[in-house]
Amino acid sequence: MPAKSQTLSKKVNQIHKGLKSLTRRFETSHNSLKRGNQNLNRGLQGLKKRQQGFDKRQQRFEKRQQGFEKKLEHLIERQNDYENDFKAFWEKMLALHNQEARKAEQDRLKSQKVIDQIYTIADRITKYFDDFNVEKLALGARDDRIENRVESLEESDLKQNHTIEKLDTRLTYLEARQPD
């Protein structure tokens, strides 16, 4: 699972870098368009001031002005297209990011479930081991009691055998003393 998270992180980083690059290009294009627009406006103002002195060239300047306006409209259209493309790209990236975030959360939840199951198994094994130790101690204590009882019975048996031997000896002595 960590490898999958790293791959996801790499993909997100690549997307983020691409997005930054596209943003920079968009800003550069936008700024140059702005500068071009400002320069065009300055040129138009200069033309209006000089128009009175250049009546003969009026038609040529009007054509030029119309050309600049068409270029400006074209640039504005391109700018709008870039903005729309950027917005669409941004929405796609945001949707992709949200989708990947949901997948990552699902993976995290699955991982947590597995970890919880492992802890449950470990707890069961620990309980079984503890129960085994308790049982082992109980059996050890029982063995000790049995050994003590066996030792006690053996001592009792020895005493009884010793007493029987004494009684046999005495009985033999008494039988030997008895006149026939």
What is the secondary structure of 148-179 as a DSSP string? HHHHHHHHHHHHHHHHHHHHHHHHHHHHHHS-
User: What pLDDT, on the 0 to 100 scale, is given for residue 85?
Assistant: 94
pLDDT along the chain (180 residues), means of 10: 72 85 85 84 74 67 85 92 94 94 94 94 94 90 90 92 92 82
User: What pLDDT, on the 0 to 100 scale, is given for residue 1?
Assistant: 52
Q: H-type helices in 2-57, by residue range?
A: 2-51
Q: What is the pTM of this model?
A: 0.36
